[in-house]
Chain A
Amino acid sequence: MDTLIEVSDVSKRYDSAGTFAVEGVSLDVARGEAVAVMGPSGSGKSTLLNLIAGLDRPTEGTVTVAGQRIDSLNETSLAKYRRQRVGIIFQFFNLLDDLTVADNVMLPAQLAGAPRAKARRRTDDLLERLRIGEHRQAYPARLSGGERQRVAIARALVNSPELLLADEPTGALDTTTGEEIGELLRELNRAGQSMIMVTHNPDLAFRYAQRTIQIVDGKLAGDTTDGRHVARAGAGARP
């Protein structure tokens, strides 16, 4: 297996006296894999995603992505990691209201120092592929939820990251739009895009991910592959 992500005995707590948001989690994700992370509210799904995205640091353990230890990177290196290796999609899109759709999508490329013309070509290409090319000069507030999430996906993909991380990507969308976005993510995965998706929705996980990880109370509680639930004895297990 060509391992892309290696999470090793990772724990996270937000204050020294508090409980663990994530505790002793270990898992590997292969390149090209689509993994759904499921669990009840407050179980630590988004925290785990944030640790892999380099948005937060583990209290204990190590996180390695594409051979790079990211838990020990400084803020500047983490920013470079986020812009080069991962694309992040959020439940509430997190688009910048005062930038146009095209400017939102181009932003990570520009931050990475891509030439203007190249960034624009890549943006136009993505917007066309995601069927929102006609909105390139519109502002996010004028778009529907599905359109905004497509813009967010385009932004996440603009630097061609090895890993796409999605935190409840359909959570703020109606069922039909949610399915559209799900299909879009599956297409991306079929094209070779590695992906981790946090979701509440078992149907979404079943239909669009090859593997589902269960997190309960911050601990790894299970792992299913191709719909088959694989029970785990405890935290720290690897698939």
Chain B
Amino acid sequence: MKKNSTYKLREKFHQAKWDEPVIFELHTPGERGVMVPEVEQEIQEAAGDGISQIPENMRRKNKPALPEVSQMRVLKHFLRISQHTLGADFNIDIGQGTCTMKYSPKINESFVRSPKAAEIHPFQDEDTVQGALEIIYKLDTFLQEISGMDKFTFQPGGGAAAILVMVSIIQKYHELRGEGQERDEIITTIFSHPSDAAAAAVKGYKVITLYPDEYGLPDIEALKKAASERTAGLLITNPEDIGIFNSKIQEFTKIVHDAGGLCGYDQANANGLLGITRAKEADFDMCFFNLHKSFSSPHGCGGPATGALGVREKFIDYMPMPLVDFDGEKYCLNHNLPHSIGKVRGYYGVFPAVLRAYAWIISMGAEGLREVAEVAVLNNNYVMKKVQELKGAAISYPKTPGRIEQVRYTWEKLTEETGVSTEDVTNRMVDFGFHLWSSHHPWVVPQPFSIEPTESYSKAELDEYLAGLEKTVNEAYEDPDKVKNAPYQSVSHKIDHHPLDDPEKWAVTWRAYLKKQKKGE
């Protein structure tokens, strides 16, 4: 067969568009989607109607006004609106920089579906869940190897929750040393995830945010000024969201340690670094990985997820309870953590994410992980080369040419020259079956966009995505309104944002929508 390496932009793409109503509009009195298990006659005779024992004021008067819909119609409704959603399995999902939208292998989903994973209760006797505990324990040892840390917990339900744990450990550490009051500042950087700042504020800290120097690196002079006897700790991403590896990272940790603070590494996204460099060698006290990023657990429209948190030996007994240990024969839950911060989520975390990450790592091996990192970096640099050739596009901080696994680009020139903004471009990319994201706020880089190709997409796919960008750029210069009025081929057209910010009009539920509609009539 002749090798076909050409790509084609899907100009005739149109997303599924079922014109599907809201579920409440499918209500037909008397219909029903599923039956509840029967209550045996003997039980009914012995227990009565059940409700009579409930005090009058606690008996619900009106049934909830849920829609009544038969099963196939419910199925069809949700299948249709699923088709209105562009998952990574459909998309060349490289336009969601920072988020590592890689392939989540299907075989691993079969493990999640197994009753051996789905039908186990967190308070079962340890003897009955040795398999689950083994998976948790072994994933812990894998991540220890990948990071150089000494113990991991999978309790945090996402990256932000893992950050909260890091801040909590830092706080407890200083409190136990009698410096809890004095050390009231957390230092982070503007290109670290917003949660690094926000979770610190939840714990009562004053947040000091470092901005980049002209090379795109967080300003080390600013760090020196900020570090003091008030510093509780540093929370920092590396590479930051702009994709530049902070080569001075060890100096950063030293400055903070010298000031008496602790250092937490936000490695939510570590996809370009697996087997290349580790938190330990950069002298971090703790770090976390998002299992739903570098370690392949799917994002599920925004969770459930896991922020796997690892610490150095001296902080193990500060970790959330319980940890999973192994005595050589049996796996067990260890609640004996004298300085534990307590808990951040029920039980032991999102077991499906742990399961997938375990299966993924064991299917890749050490060489495979390194291949992941290297190809992610190769793909990113390839895309960067091509994006820089586009009219109106540039990388941020061009004085530093190197990038690891992602790049924060700018459409500043495109916007100046055509009036087409980054939001317009993202809306137009939808018409070719793509997603493109701008960036977190604030937009330090003007008109930003963020691309992270990961290792999962072929060169031909990367070329197809680039062709979408090129087409959009050409349109911006030739017919800017075409881009500004996009999308055309999506499920819906340009939405009206104003009602979403107006308390008189916003509607977070159908019942609120109906009330406000009625009021407006």
**Is chain B a partner of chain A in the same complex?**
no
Interface set of A (CB-CB < 8 Å, partner B): none
Interface set of B (CB-CB < 8 Å, partner A): none
